[in-house]
Amino acid sequence: MSHRFFVVTGGPGAGKTSLIRELARRGVQTAPESGRAVIREEQARGGTALPWGDRLAYAMRMLERDLTGHASAGAGTGPVVFDPGVPDVLGYLALCGLDVPEKVARVARETRYNPTVFFAPYWGEIFTQDAERRQDRAEAMATAEIMAETYARLGYQIVELPRADIAARAEFVLARLHG
């Protein structure tokens, strides 16, 4: 387990990526969201590993990217904030009602982060959809719930981010990264 690896999880449209960008701007090492990267790659090549296509293939592509990001972050010395972490793939598969391949379950148990996981709760006032985020509000709420349950089941302590502006959220995280 790497105590310097922190995860920000939650549902879509809850401000995770904006928070990660702000932390990076402030000098924190970050690992970007894998889901949007996979969507962009698949759309560019006409692939089907998409959340509205082959969901299992999409999950496996996210897992590959997340594992690569976890491995490459090991070379540093300071805290690293991930958007999101490997266990999010477990949550995604559960949300979709798909069976979890044993490899995914094993990797999620073995690829560890700091015991504190930052949770971005569903926040209706900031939720938006776009070309890559097609989930509606109900699915966003369900995703947030399942991510919190997934991390708790794996033994992580869930710390809810405040529903506040990005600067305040960043200060909240920074106080816990270095405290």
- Kindly report, residue by residue over 95-153, the tens digit of the pLDDT: 989 999 999 999 999 999 999 999 998 766 655 655 555 566 677 778 889 999 999 99
**Domain that includes residue 141, residue range:** 5-177
Q: What is the CATH number of the domain that holds 94?
A: 3.40.50.300
Percentage with pLDDT > 70 across the chain: 91
| Model pLDDT, residue 132 | 53
Place of tokens 């999950």: 59
Phi and psi at residue 120, in whole multiples of 5°?
Answer: -90, 105
Q: Which residues, at least 6 apart from 109, have a Cβ–Cβ distance to it below 8 Å?
A: 154
Average pLDDT over residues 39-52: 91
How much is the pTM?
Answer: 0.89
Domain count, the chain: 1
